[in-house]
Amino acid sequence: MDDRIFGRNTVLEALKAGREVDKIMVAKDSKEGSIKKIIALAKDKNIVVQFVEKAKIKEVSDSDAHQGVVALLAAYKYSSIEEMLAKAALKNKKPFILVLDEINDPYNLGSIIRTAEAVGVDGVIIGKRRAVGLTAVVAKTSAGALEYMPVAKVTNISQAIDTLKKEGLWVTGADLSGEKNHYDSDLKGAIALVIGNEGKGISRLVKEKCDFLVKLPMDGQIASLNASVAAAVLMYEVYRQRNNM
């Protein structure tokens, strides 16, 4: 429970102190007094506020003393896209960025970050809404990789892709509708690899932003892979091509 805090004064002071907060959950019938201050301050800081039933607040906080509010904290400080690209520039290498579109499972995110660090990814981009943040579970599953991997949390994935394109990166998405298999596509240059949601895949708007799509060939009865497995296969293909293996 070290990745969440609850109670009105505790949450309010955490916001004032600049703590990294992924999301704030507020009971639907608790919108008066200091709750108003919490909501206003969260919006000023562009933090997602979710209104839920009081029973959900109790479940998440695991306490009866929640006072109608619980904040989910980030285990690590978030980075920025600019810092990721600067990291690549310092190494005199073509940027390799991973973009995750609505990954919800903290174990998947942690596993993806672990592989990303192993293959030299320069940064991971995640969304603020409908996606898991840098929770304690994510940090633990990454097995220490989160200490070295910059993660940017953005309001809009499509706009983040536009930013990457302006910086000269080609954007490729993993999707069953891809015209080529991943190993038949040129992945050697400055690239951003997009991995979609565990169930729905890449959202339509994000898919339309991709320069091209690649697919993983499959001969079995199951039509898709776990998101972290698919991400690992694709990241290692980029690694193989870049190292002429």
Residue-range domain boundaries for the chain: 4-73, 81-242
**Low pLDDT (below 50) residues in the chain:** none
CA dihedral 201, 237, 191, 133 (to 10 degrees): 50
Residue type at 5 in one-letter notation? I
The CATH class for the domain spanning 4-73 reads: alpha beta
Question: Quick one: pLDDT at residue 137?
Answer: 87
pTM for the predicted model, two decimal places: 0.85
Question: Quick one: pLDDT at residue 223?
Answer: 65
Question: Quick one: pLDDT at residue 129?
Answer: 83
Instruction: Give domain 81-242's CATH superfamily.
Output: SPOUT methyltransferase, trefoil knot domain (3.40.1280.10)
What is the rounded CA–CA span in Å between residue 58 and residue 70? 9
Q: How many CB atoms lie within 10 A of CB 74?
A: 20
Calculate what percentage of the chain has a pLDDT beyond 70.
98
For the sheet with 48-52, list strands across it. 4-6, 69-73, 21-27, 48-52
In sequence order, the β-bridge partners of residue 24 are 49, 71
Tens-digit pLDDT profile for residues 83-96? 999 989 999 999 99
